[in-house]
Amino acid sequence: MSSNKVFIFDTTLRDGEQVPGCKLKQSQKLELAELLDQLGVDIIEAGFPISSPGDFQSVSEVAKIVKNATVCGLSRSVEKDIKAAADALVHAKKPRIHTGIGTSENHMKFKFNCGPEEIIRRAVAAVKYAKSFVEDVEFFAEDAGRSDNAFLAKVCEEVIKAGATVLNIPDTTGYCLPDEYGAKIKYLAENVKGIHKAVLSTHCHNDLGLATANSIAGVISGARQVECTINGVGERAGNTSLEEVVMILKQKLSDQYYTDINTKLLKPTSERVSFEMGMPVQANKAIVGDNAFAHSSGIHQDGVIKNRETYEIIDPLDVGVPKSSIILTARSGRAALAFRAKEIGYNLTKDELDIAYQSFLILADAQKEVRDNDLEKLLKQKVFA
């Protein structure tokens, strides 16, 4: 089977940055945009230019410095938004305007107070207007996850006729199950006239913890762009996590799909985003959490020491983590203790290990983790005194 490229659309600087507490200064956005470009993302959504003069300026500066990726600015289906996005992107090598409107019953009734025909009219007008500035126009159907599929198909058809190059199908509220979201993408791929002229894109939120699963279901059903953020930062429970999608495609589906992400930069990029946003990454976060390659129970440690693959499905080096770690806790076994002792220069005999292990358990019961300095002290006092 031939391998298909999945475009990675990073929205850390837009959907991620709009989270309370994650706001970035212009200098921080510039630094992160450079890192994202080096990471190999295809599209950087740099911000929402109409939202504030500061964001306009940031998008404009990001557009100037990004060398490889397309730089994208968000807008509502409103002329002044679209014009602001176009102005902010004027220096981008590859500019994209991302415009759209809500398509669910809920959004039509409560946000726009209008019917489906008016939504289509506004959507088409917005795409045509954006197209007067740039060639690459992405349309988002907000709350597509809860939108009627037949209506969504109609909207997609009309915006493709108006010139949309990418169709973003957001599960804005993180409401879909993977099979529902996959079926939605499949329905659009099979029922929208002219769909071959546009790329279908996933944009999933994580309210039910399904953002990554839904994005992958979307790819399997025909989407060729995934919108995501580093560390999954984003509104409420977050967006799809870039590192998860990229590693799933690489580890599980590489016979069918590939991305251009340099996976060795995933951990350093995650750390930088976390630092700049002041948003810690949970220790058990897949791929980039501090515990993602840490082993602490005796059974697992014994296996990993014998062969890393007994309990690891990813080589940590592949994602920029220098090595797996064996953490010493009260659940650790002799194999782990001997291993860590050796790492700090003590090659213990069986008898030495037996003595050390008894003292180790007492210490480990008293504290959460036994670190190198604790271990060294213990060996000096109890084994080699």
Give least dist CB 181 to Zn ion, A: 14
User: Which residue's CB is nearer to Zn ion, number 15 or number 158?
Assistant: 15
CA distances from 194 to 145, 233, 276 (A): 22, 34, 42
User: Which residue's CB is nearer to Zn ion, number 206 or number 301?
Assistant: 206
| Helices and strands: H and E segment counts in the chain | 14, 12
d(CA 261, CA 34): 14
Q: Return the amino acid letter for 219.
A: V
Give least dist CB 273 to Zn ion, A: 17
Q: What does 9 bind: Zn ion, ligand KIV, none (CB cut-off 5 to 8 Å by kind)?
A: none
CB 114 within 8 Å of CB 101: no
Q: What does 18 bind: Zn ion, ligand KIV, none (CB cut-off 5 to 8 Å by kind)?
A: none
Q: What does 168 bind: ligand KIV, Zn ion, none (CB cut-off 5 to 8 Å by kind)?
A: ligand KIV
Give least dist CB 18 to Zn ion, A: 9
Cα dihedral 237/243/244/248 (nearest 10):
160
User: Which residue's CB is nearer to ligand KIV, number 96 or number 203?
Assistant: 203
CB 186 within 8 Å of CB 222: yes
DSSP 3-state of 7: strand
User: Which residue's CB is nearer to Zn ion, number 14 or number 300?
Assistant: 14
157 sits near Zn ion (criterion: CB under 5 A): no
Give least dist CB 203 to ligand KIV, A: 5
Give least dist CB 171 to Zn ion, A: 9
Minimal CB distance residue for Zn ion:
15
Give least dist CB 130 to Zn ion, A: 19
DSSP 3-state of 202: strand
User: Which residue's CB is nearer to Zn ion, number 15 or number 17?
Assistant: 15
Q: What does 142 bind: Zn ion, ligand KIV, none (CB cut-off 5 to 8 Å by kind)?
A: ligand KIV
Q: What does 16 bind: ligand KIV, Zn ion, none (CB cut-off 5 to 8 Å by kind)?
A: none
Residue 253 is given by DSSP the state -
Residue 12 is given by DSSP the state I
Interacting residues toward ligand KIV by CB under 6 A: 15, 140, 142, 168, 170, 172, 203, 205
Q: What does 240 bind: ligand KIV, Zn ion, none (CB cut-off 5 to 8 Å by kind)?
A: none
Give least dist CB 45 to ligand KIV, A: 9
Determine if residue 231 is left, alpha or beta; phi over 0 gives left, psi from -120 to 50 gives alpha, anything else beta: left
Q: Which residue among 6, 9, 13, 15 contacts Zn ion (CB under 5 A)?
A: 15
CA distances from 118 to 115, 352, 359 (A): 6, 80, 75
Q: Can you give the three-state secondary structure of 121-162, one letter per residue?
A: HHHHHHHHHHHCCCCEEEEEEECHHHCCHHHHHHHHHHHHHH
176: nearest Cα among 186, 189, 161: 186
User: Which residue's CB is nearer to ligand KIV, number 58 or number 172?
Assistant: 172
* Rounded CA Rg of the chain: 25
CB 63 within 8 Å of CB 70: no
Q: What does 45 bind: Zn ion, ligand KIV, none (CB cut-off 5 to 8 Å by kind)?
A: none
User: Which residue's CB is nearer to Zn ion, number 207 or number 271?
Assistant: 207
Please identify, among the stretches 7-15, 210-218, 340-348, 354-362, the one whose residues bind Zn ion according to the rule CB under 5 A: 7-15
Give least dist CB 268 to Zn ion, A: 25
User: Which residue's CB is nearer to ligand KIV, number 18 or number 58?
Assistant: 18
DSSP 3-state of 197: helix
Q: What does 140 bind: Zn ion, ligand KIV, none (CB cut-off 5 to 8 Å by kind)?
A: ligand KIV
Binding stretches for Zn ion (CB under 5 A):
15
